[in-house]
Structure 1
Amino acid sequence: MPYLAELSDLVRLHARVQGLPGAVCREILERIDHTDGDGPGSWCWEWALAADRMAETGRHLESCKLNNLARFPYPSNPAQERAAHRCVAEFDQWRSSRGGIDRLELELSGHRVPVWATGLDPDAPRPLLLLIGGIVSVKEQWAPSLPTARKLGMAAVAAEMPGVGENPLTYDHDSWQMLSGLLDRINEIAPVREVYAVAMSFSGHLALRCAAHDPRLSGLVTVGPPVSAFFQDRTWWAGVPETTKRTLAHLLGVPEGDVPERLGTFALRPDELTRVTAPVHSVVSLRDEIIPSADTRFLERHLAKFKSIRFDDVHGSPGHVLRTRLWIAHSLLRFRTARYTASLFKGFNG
């Protein structure tokens, strides 16, 4: 598939997740005829132009969403760098006018890592929800949902994978430690009672490895995470979409041809997964073109508490966005209910 066509297919999912009208996206995509550079007809130009028009009318969240697509899948030229900055600035203006969402810059490994947060109160410990996207989605894509978590009595933080958006850290085998570092810094601001993560795709891989080493994770919901075969099956890698290959090369800082060798050590081992005591719920796409079905079977074999919902769809299940959201919400409620029930029985038996 030509790269432009592939990008267009992927961006339709991210537009739908953000709640952008399909008609608006189709109109913009029809004007795009190349992905490189700047100027009329280029990927970044057309999305950014639509974003500027939204900003001019005070629709800052819509402008943020469109700038997110202008820099998609990652900033590869100055125009996309500008779009990435505008994405953050427009979200900042939107959240400032509404209140309830704070910008924090957390110190991790000698770098300042920006996140969006809500409900962190040192005098009122709450359960924490950590929202983190994959290799192509920035925190501004998920942060608008933070106030909903607060209404449910939870604190919440929207973050990014290393190398994505404003996160200056480098993506490597030990990137899971970023999640533990985030929890350390968050607990310094406000103690949390338990931690739940909604981690999409590649961040789901980080969360799984983190859960094997950090017992603070009380439950994980993920959508199409790479686990083992993705990182080691060279035959499968040959058919992985070009967008994924280019983005991983960008995050790893290596030529695209060197990516498979670099990723080989990222595969999760059976002994790591057997150490995961937290429940893991996953959305599985039966026609996933990025994640091999062998990775789901690997999770089924080695996780003690694993549940999945399966859709006859491609990666991210773009045709099932609403059902995916409901599954995520239902999973979080089940995690919290199970933990609360367990605490009651513990208190009763004690």
Structure 2
Amino acid sequence: MNDLEELKRFVVTHAVSQNLPPGPYTAVLDRITTDTADAPGSWPHEWIRAGRELQEAGQTLAAAQYYNFGRFPFVDGPGRRRALALCTAAFETWRETQPGIDAETIEIDGLPVRVLTAGLSAEQPRPLLVLTGGIVSPKEQWGAVLPQLAASGLAAVVADLPGVGESPLRYHRDSWRIYPAILDALAGRARVQESRLLALSFSGHAAITAALHDPRIRGIVGNGPPIRAFFRDTAWQRRVPKVTTDTLAHLTGVPAEKVYEHVRDWALTAEQLRSLNVPLAVVTARRDEVIPPADTALLRENVPFLSIVEHDDVHGAPSHLAETRAWSLLAVHKMRPDPPPQVIEALTAAVTQAKAAR
């Protein structure tokens, strides 16, 4: 069972990151009194109820996000399974009203994996950006950014980290293979030899590993990735929020009490980081409760082409949403050899404006 108060704190950070108005979701949280079952007052029931109200009011995308919170942090029973199904269905309803956002199924490790795409073209292929969330955020949480990415001159794909959302894959040490598989599937409709990865939270670890194996990956932008100490520091692991530990255990298929032993050999070495020959841009948070500061220090000490922005915030820097989003997209475009000047100018101005607004 999840720690209900911890669960509420974490979902608020995700609501903030989606720029949702606080009043409605605060009211939902006030109604939730239990994390078990699927009855009135339970976590999935109340988020589903609120999502249906939004959907009936025509706010389909917001409804999808509320359903998403109903399956947060992972599906552990009928209620959250129902919430996930409603989330994907509502997002699909919204997507069908958005010109240029497509969905397709590709094969990864022999299994069908659904992804969201924009800007693909066999006639005029563009540089590719692959966007992946962390261990608690499915592609539907980030898919709405696809039109912006396409408008900036990129081909883009949003995918789940293995085991997250509707992904049928198991999360394991070699989950970095999702990136080469995506590039293989989109070759011919995007310039996959010029691929960049925008990899949030835990997917940043997989993205760095993938770049060590696949030369088509020409840059990575991350936000709070685990690197080494997260996987090795037993004292820090005792401080990691229960929701993170339990989610990691669920995705890997290992009991929570054994999960850190299981992922110990996932740690990246200083030698691997020194051999990373592509740009890495990372958002970090001083009060990160998930990723230890030693991991940021290791990046600073070893990565040859590194840019870091640090916020006084918790994991993911949700309270710095506008600046983080603009800085991350700016970093992606700066990694291109021929970035459109107007895009660089607009994103630079957005970063400056977001800083001034704080």
Query: Could you say which TM-score interval applies, normalised by the shorter chain?
Result: over 0.9
- 1:22-61 aligned at under 5 Å gives the runs 22-61=22-61
Deviates more, 1:84-93 or 1:185-194: 185-194
1:131 match: 131
- 1:273-284 aligned at under 5 Å gives the runs 273-284=273-284
Tell me the distance in 1 between the aligned counterparts of 2:154 and 2:50. 35
CA contact (8 A) 2:128 2:191 kept: no
1:296 match: 296
Q: TM-score, normalised by structure 2?
A: 0.92
1:158 match: 158
1:7 match: 7
Q: Secondary structure at the match of 1:128?
A: strand
Taking structure 1 as reference, are residues 149 and 340 closer, same or farther at Cα in structure 2, changes over 3 Å only?
closer
Tell me the distance in 2 between the aligned counterparts of 1:339 and 1:59. 35
What is the root-mean-square deviation of aligned Cα atoms in Å?
A: 1.6
Note if 1:179 corresponds to 2:173: no
Please, which runs of 5 or more residues in structure 2 have no aligned partner?
Answer: 342-358
**Segments of 4+ moved more than 3 angstroms:** 188-193, 337-341
CA contact (8 A) 1:231 1:265 kept: yes
Q: TM-score, normalised by structure 1?
A: 0.94
Tell me the distance in 1 between the aligned counterparts of 2:116 and 2:255. 32
Q: Secondary structure at the match of 2:175?
A: coil
1:220 match: 220
Tell me the distance in 2 between the aligned counterparts of 1:326 and 1:339. 15
Tell me the distance in 1 between the aligned counterparts of 2:270 and 2:177. 19
Note if 1:317 corresponds to 2:307: no
Give 1:54 shift. 1.4
Note if 1:80 corresponds to 2:48: no
- Show CA shifts across 1:64-111 (max 9, x none): 010010000111111110110111111111111222111110011110
CA contact (8 A) 2:127 2:191 kept: no
Tell me the distance in 1 between the aligned counterparts of 2:139 and 2:294. 29
Give 1:271 shift. 2.2
Please, which runs of 5 or more residues in structure 1 have no aligned partner?
Answer: 342-350
- Show CA shifts across 1:181-234 (max 9, x none): 111111155444511111011000000111111111111111100000000111
- 1:130-149 aligned at under 5 Å gives the runs 130-149=130-149
Give 1:253 shift. 0.5
2:168 match: 168
Tell me the distance in 2 between the aligned counterparts of 1:230 and 1:169. 23
CA contact (8 A) 1:285 1:317 kept: yes
Give 1:127 shift. 0.9
1:239 match: 239
1:103 match: 103
Quote the sequence identity (%): 42
Q: How many residues align?
A: 340
CA contact (8 A) 1:116 1:143 kept: yes
Q: Secondary structure at the match of 1:166?
A: coil
2:66 match: 66
CA contact (8 A) 1:126 1:155 kept: yes
1:326 match: 326
Q: Secondary structure at the match of 1:309?
A: strand
Give 1:28 shift. 0.7
Tell me the distance in 1 between the aligned counterparts of 2:251 and 2:67. 20
1:347 match: none
CA contact (8 A) 1:126 1:193 kept: no
- Show CA shifts across 1:152-201 (max 9, x none): 11110000100001111111111111111111111155444511111011
Partner letter of residue 178 of structure 1? I
Tell me the distance in 1 between the aligned counterparts of 2:192 and 2:283. 27
- Show CA shifts across 1:32-61 (max 9, x none): 111111111111111110001112222211
